Amino acid sequence: MKKLMSVASAILAANCALAAGFGLYEASPRGNAMGGALVGKTGDATANYYNPANLTDSTNVSVVAGVTFINPFCDVDVDGRPQQKMNPGWFAAPAFYASVPLPWDFTLGWGNYSEFGLGTKYGRHWDLAGDTLETTMKQFTFNPNLAYKVTDWWSVAAGFRMSYIQFENFKEPHHGESFYFEQMRRTLPQYGNAYHLKSHLKGDDWDFGYNLGTTFKVTTNVTLGVVYRSRIRHNIKGDFNLRGRANTPRGWVGQHEDLHAGAKLTLPQSVTFGGNWDVTGKFRVGAAITWTEWSSVNTIRFRIPKYGYSEPLHWHNAWRYGFGAEYDLTNWMSVRGGYVYDRDPCNNGTTMLPAGDRHILAFGSGFKLAENLRLDLGYSLVMMEDSRRRVHLTRLDGVEETHKFEARNSFSHLVSASLSYSF
């Protein structure tokens, strides 16, 4: 029983690690194409994400609905042996925003978007199938905001963030190990590759946080903004099941287990600084810098019946730098481009995500389809630097194996589209 509990603990640790290492910043096609540089001035209801203080610029009721499709992939080596390419397919990150001007210089806003997520998927029976086969994590934020124009040059805002998180993991525990005779405390090499097990873990949770924003108009053409997002402390609950068989001296023996599992996970707080400059009536530029406190998820603690477990992650705080520009080619078409440098916060060895510092090249365009209707499109190429890590696996006999894990040629495609309408 204790061995099965340890399997459950390891799987739950992996999913939580994924949340820590995979922040999502792709909130709209226009923002994606401009490297997220819409903090000082946004221009539509997506201000609910980029800086809710910018909602005070709205003069009409407006809505924005869109989606970003994301596909990460990379080449993988384990101990120098090439493996099947890591490619989990396409993930969809939908978003919806609305803004409603109110009397007395107030503006009400609403945003639905994802702040964390993605996942990994490796080939069946790969060399580290005991660490993971497939992991997905989905997180959605439901975010009402209230903005107030204090003066013609200063606006403030506050919002309530309702966060829903869901994770799912598949793996092959003790893949490739010989049978371990627990009563004799010895491994039996004649029963090699004894464990043909599959495990599945799935869990979810709701929790709450808040956000604050402010915008300063330095001149009529230059604006600065700051956004703070609080920590969110999730109390994740889920179910773990194990199915399969083991090759033993008594022949093939079936194994199964169904357990409840849980973990406390803190999503990190962050601060984003940004500025925008209307160089001319047709040309605009912006910049955004984000600091994220990934160290707040330094340790994950688990609750599993009859067995407790803590997983040290050792994430470090990281910075993200984004720059973008936008030019109106005609009165109905705009083109955009941007660049982002995103530091990897991960220190420990895990195959749950393709790690490495990220360089993002992005471009897009906007089209005025009608007087109050706009279509925005964007594409981003995420290039992740090669990473080499040591992954540790503990066998049933207690011996810890160390493997060299290398992720190369790591990329992600991001394709996004949205429609905006102003009433």
pLDDT on residue 319: 93
* Cα torsion 28, 33, 38, 42: sign: negative
Torsion of CA 44, 47, 52, 55, to 10 degrees: 0
Residues 6+ apart with CB under 8 A from 197: 172, 173, 174, 242, 243, 244, 245, 246, 255
Q: pLDDT per residue over 282-312, tens digit each?
A: 999 999 999 999 888 766 666 666 544 555 6
Is 0.75 surpassed by the pTM of this model?
yes
More confident residue, 91 or 327: 327
pLDDT on residue 312: 60
Q: What is the CATH number of the domain that holds 160?
A: 2.40.160.60
Question: Which of 45, 61, 215, 59 is CA-nearest to residue 145?
Answer: 45
> Do residues 146 and 164 touch, judged by C-beta distance below 8 A?
no
Tokens for 403?
């493997």
Q: Residue 20 above 60 pLDDT?
A: no
Tokens for 210?
């808040």
First to last CA, the chain: 61
The number of distinct structural domains making up the chain is 1
191: containing domain: 2-422
Q: pLDDT per residue over 224-268, tens digit each?
A: 999 999 999 888 888 888 889 988 888 888 888 888 887 777 889
pLDDT on residue 74: 85
Instruction: Using DSSP bridges, classify how beta strands 387-394 and 373-384 pair: parallel, antiparallel or unpaired.
Output: unpaired
More confident residue, 223 or 199: 223
> Do residues 83 and 131 touch, judged by C-beta distance below 8 A?
no
Tokens for 249?
């001296």
CA atoms within 13 A on the CB side of 27: 27
CA–CA distance, 204 with 137 (Å, rounded to integer): 10
Q: Residue 420 above 80 pLDDT?
A: yes
CA–CA distance, 402 with 4 (Å, rounded to integer): 21
Tokens for 260?
């409840």
Percent of the chain surpassing pLDDT 90: 47
Question: Which of 165, 159, 266 is CA-nearest to residue 210?
Answer: 159
Burial-class residue 122 by CB neighbours within 10 Å (0-12, 13-18, 19+). buried
Angle at 336 between CA 330 and CA 341, to 5 degrees: 170
Question: Which of 407, 347, 356, 352 is CA-nearest to residue 120?
Answer: 352
Q: pLDDT per residue over 361-372, tens digit each?
A: 999 999 999 989
